[in-house]
Amino acid sequence: MTLFSAISLTSYLPTRLHPAGLKLTLSQQKKPKIGSQSLLKPRFGQLKTTLTILIATSISLLCEPVGALQVQVKPENPRLGDTLSVVIETNTVGIEPTVSMEQKTYPSFAVGPNRYRALLPTTPLDQPRSLQLRVSGDGEVKNISVALQNRSFATQRIWLSESASQPATELELSRVREFKKLITPQKFWNGKFVKPSSGRVSTVFGVRRYYNGVFANNYYHRGVDYAAGTGSPVVAPAAGRVALVGRVSEGFRVHGNTVGMDHGQGVTSIFLHLNTIEVKPGDFVQAGQRIGTVGSTGASTGPHLHWGLYVHGVSVDPVPWRFQGLN
């Protein structure tokens, strides 16, 4: 930084200069002195000017306030489906910075003294590209580029007869949509998420599909499936408040018996196709606490648990949350 400034200032010396510096050079040239030093004088004058400017520049650089916003983005090399964690340190107490990424603005929440964190979702539908993040806070704006890396997802080929797929009801769609909008300032989870079922993973996150031979552009498996026997326990992967309970009997035709859990700060979990539900809206549950049992209700071909993890309403890969943790 200092070196770069020094180089560019020196190269501008003859033409574009600090007015004071220019005056100095001229005055040196006005009164040439006789003697052995006379030839050196103008050059010395110029050097003095350069030094004056360099010192002035250095002082101004030193006096400039250190950027009030310190920003760190994790993971360093995010891939499609990863959750970006943007940690912001500010000098101002009590004003939460915001992070904008391509037209969307995400809130941040306090995670320590003068320390805030925003979570930004990415999905398998995104294009790998340079994401432009704009962090605003402390009366300052900081622009950051994050390279979103490509990732390949497995594909499934599904053949459906016309009558096999029935649409979701307006009731289940609207209730699930409202649930995913939740942004509670408190952070209920702590550390890594635990497995919500003891079953083996039968379908991973992000799998893409061909329906009757046609690639479904907007489809990706928005969660993880665990194959487990009907009636086997489903536990909360992290602490949270039960914010949605929906049953087939009231119109959850596709989702089946459903539990939605609010982990706070825009992070939510949804559990589908349950056999039984053992919690009610408003209940606060701890990580590992039983919430119901595995079933095959709704649009399901066999007993399994579908666990979807959402960040600001967007389905993200739960794997980093399970194995690294986003604290």
Q: Is 35 left (phi over 0), alpha (psi -120 to 50) or beta?
A: left
Q: For tokens 């994790």, what's the residue? A: 74
Quickly list DSSP for 29-62.
Answer: HHSPPPSTTTTHHHHHHHHHHHHHHHHHHHHHHH
Per CB under 5 A, does 225 bind Zn ion?
A: yes
With respect to Zn ion, which residue has the nearer C-beta, 79 or 306? 306
Interaction mask 14-33, Zn ion, x per CB under 5 A: --------------------
Q: Which stretch binds Zn ion (CB under 5 A): 110-118, 175-183, 218-226, 313-321?
A: 218-226
* Least separation in angstroms between CB 202 and Zn ion: 8
With respect to Zn ion, which residue has the nearer C-beta, 149 or 203? 203
Per CB under 5 A, does 255 bind Zn ion?
A: no
**8 Å CB contact between 260 and 242:** yes
Helix/strand/coil (H/E/C) assignment for every residue in 157-222: EECCCCCCCCCCCHHHHHHHHHHHCCCCCCECCCCCCCCCCCCEEEECCCCEEEECCEECCCCCCC
Q: How far apart are CA 276 and CA 293, in angstroms?
A: 5
Q: Which of 306, 310, 316, 320 binds Zn ion (CB under 5 A)?
A: 306
Per CB under 5 A, does 317 bind Zn ion?
A: no
* Least separation in angstroms between CB 251 and Zn ion: 20
Nearest to 205 by CA among 183, 224, 177: 224
Q: How far apart are CA 98 and CA 119, in angstroms?
A: 10
* Least separation in angstroms between CB 165 and Zn ion: 15
* Least separation in angstroms between CB 67 and Zn ion: 44
Q: Which stretch binds Zn ion (CB under 5 A): 26-34, 85-93, 184-192, 220-228?
A: 220-228
Site size for Zn ion, by CB under 5 A?
Answer: 2
With respect to Zn ion, which residue has the nearer C-beta, 117 or 306? 306
Q: Which stretch binds Zn ion (CB under 5 A): 122-130, 136-144, 175-183, 221-229?
A: 221-229
Q: Which stretch binds Zn ion (CB under 5 A): 39-47, 66-74, 88-96, 306-314?
A: 306-314
Minimal CB distance residue for Zn ion: 306
* Bridging pattern class, strands 200-203 and 224-227: antiparallel
With respect to Zn ion, which residue has the nearer C-beta, 11 or 165? 165
Structure tokens at 10: 């020196």
With respect to Zn ion, which residue has the nearer C-beta, 172 or 225? 225
Nearest to 149 by CA among 74, 72, 78: 78
- Residues in contact with Zn ion by the rule CB under 5 A: 225, 306
